[in-house]
Structure 1
Amino acid sequence: MVVNKPAHSSRVARVLLVAPACDGEDVGESWLAYQWAHRAACADLVRDLGLGERVRIHGGVPRAEVEHFYERSDVFVFPSYREPGSAVVLEAMAHGLPLVVCDRGGPGANASDACAVRVPAESPAQLARDVATAVRRLVAEPDLRLRMGEAAREHVVATHLWDRRIERMMDLYEQIAVPRTTGAGQVPG
């Protein structure tokens, strides 16, 4: 599903962070979704950094409420470096959100530089710094945020809808089904 949403034009952005991490930078209002196992650690970090007024911790939410988070967000941050898939990233792109993801596994592979800041994962400290830098940039540059969000929507429509996936798979099958010939023009047998 592709949803058009009005973008916020001020420097304040709503960041949907799906991970147990945050820092003390002022990036506007943030929502933090994560696995319940990390709730206490995240709550402690938010309190210790004095972010209680700007960060809302929701934890697990019913699927029916997930759409509202996408619709109300301006940036989608998913810095997981162990994620083999990327369904949540595809959902965010379908909602026209620019991404900040690890350039590793499914999230990095299923996005392009036009719609995502793909951050290498070399160390936890480096990852945290680079994610924070990327979020700050997208918050400070609303035009970039809007361009990347539109590119995200276009990318997911062009590459991840089922009819596009079927076309790509059929092309691949046709490529491998074409008989190879030997140097003399003979099909090897």
Structure 2
Amino acid sequence: MTAGLRPRVLLLAEAANPDWVSVPLVGWSLARALARVADVHLVTQVRNRDAILRAGLVEGVDFTAIDSEALARPLWKLGTFLTGGRGGWTIQQAVATISYPYFEHLVWQRFGKEICAGRYDVVHRITPLSPVQQSPIAAKCRRAGVPFVLGPINGGVPWPKGFQAEMAREREWLSQVRGLYRALPGRQGTLRADAILAGSRQTLREIPAAHHGRVIYLPENAVDPARFNTLARHNGPGPMRACFIGRLVPLKGVDMLISAAAPLLRSGRLALDIIGDGDQMPALRAQAAEFGAAVVFHGWQDHAQVQHIAARCQLLAFPSIREFGGGVVLEAMALGLAPIVVDYAGPTELVTDATGWKVPITGRAGVIAGLAARLAHCVDHPDEVAQKGQAALARVQALFTWDRKAAQILDIYRWVMTPDRPKPAPFGPG
């Protein structure tokens, strides 16, 4: 690449979909942001094709859809069966260790000659985010002399002590032997990527020290300011409002939130908006029945409505006990809500003392007590809640937009393309 020109990048994002949430939305959002700073061609799985076409991209020009369904679909069904339809992240990732390499095999069939001929300056795998998934293309790119960038990768958060019952209900028994993935074929070739973006400090700790010279800490989540453009209402009439946004499943801790909030709900000093759905909904409704209109279950809502409901609140109460990234925390902060999170894994890396509160993860009783204390403090100090909400918004705008992330990754591209260029600094949220 000539100095000053935009790098030519082949983006591998098996999951990239503008109509979905979680990992597919991360893949899509980062790919679109990178397209504003580099000449990119997105390679994704065929299940995303229709949504990408609706978003205005041109197949064959802007993106290529790879049909790996012959293996991906039956294995996904197997994972769904093994988890009883509950999600079961660890089991699904274990199953994907078989199907994902097939996706990259098909990618190499389609693009291998172009990569070897120097058509691209960089090959970058964005998704899967899981570090369990190996990239056979990494070694092939190295032999072709084309830099390969991996990540951001994130995962491997152990189940916290005191929550064995939740682990069992989530069918996460396989997480106890997750470390076996280190013996997978292709792991060493994948770790020899020219740059590895570690999406969390937990993932950074899992990468052998011998590779740390090529590792850069960069959280994977960000927000699109155009999608989060409403501001929370602080110091208004009525009780303080807190919202929860996410799946209603055991690991999200909504039952602990309702228990912690109970005294404030009874006294009319706090109201809860619970946005989302899941198999815990009936039990949660029964738990909250005594509080009447003080607890509102909104079910699943489209993005615009989620933003509308959340912006009526002042707090995000998010007691998830095993969250890899915590994108919903950033989204709430982008609305000016002050977050209360459990001090564990992804969310704790996003929230500072200036922007919210963290609850020590000391078993169920400890989390409930910690949530109760912080909620009571917030109700008694609405001006402090407003101040932290404003600081949360400023933090997101400065550090956690997709364009900001794309600019950081552009520096990484230039680093791997220019051997004598200094290594970019890690993300430093403070």
The structure 1 residue matched to 2:369, chosen from 107, 129, 133, is: 129
Distance in 1 (alpha carbons) for counterparts of 2:234 and 2:421: 51
Distance in 1 (alpha carbons) for counterparts of 2:358 and 2:412: 27
Gaps of 5+ in 2: 1-224, 246-251, 423-430
Range with greater deviation from structure 2 (147-156 or 12-21) = 12-21
Offset, 1:56: 1.0
Residues 1:157 and 2:384 are matched in the alignment: no
The structure 2 residue matched to 1:37, chosen from 274, 279, 292, is: 279
After superposition, where does 1:52-71 map in structure 2 within 5 Å?
52-71=292-311
Offset, 1:171: 6.0
The structure 1 residue matched to 2:288, chosen from 40, 43, 46, is: 46
Alignment CA distance shift 1:128-1:95 (3 Å): same
Residues 1:12 and 2:239 are matched in the alignment: yes
The structure 2 residue matched to 1:83, chosen from 323, 326, 330, is: 323
Q: Which residue matches 2:388?
A: 148
Q: Which residue matches 1:25?
A: 263
1:55-74, Cα deviation, whole Å (9 max, x unpaired): 11122223331111121111
| TM-score calculated relative to the size of structure 1 | 0.82
Q: Which residue matches 1:95?
A: 335
The structure with higher relative contact order (CA 8 Å, sep 6+) is 1
Q: Contact 1:11–1:139 at 8 Å: present in 2 too? A: no
Secondary structure of the 2:292 match is coil
Alignment CA distance shift 1:174-1:121 (3 Å): farther
Distance in 1 (alpha carbons) for counterparts of 2:408 and 2:306: 30
Which one has the largest radius of gyration? 2
Gaps of 5+ in 1: 181-189
Offset, 1:179: 7.8
Q: Contact 2:233–2:314 at 8 Å: present in 1 too? A: no
| Identity over aligned pairs, percent | 27
Alignment CA distance shift 1:162-1:17 (3 Å): closer
Distance in 1 (alpha carbons) for counterparts of 2:231 and 2:354: 18
Offset, 1:133: 1.2
| Equivalent AA in structure 2 for residue 147 of structure 1 | Q
Q: Which residue matches 2:53?
A: none
Distance in 2 (alpha carbons) for counterparts of 1:69 and 1:15: 10
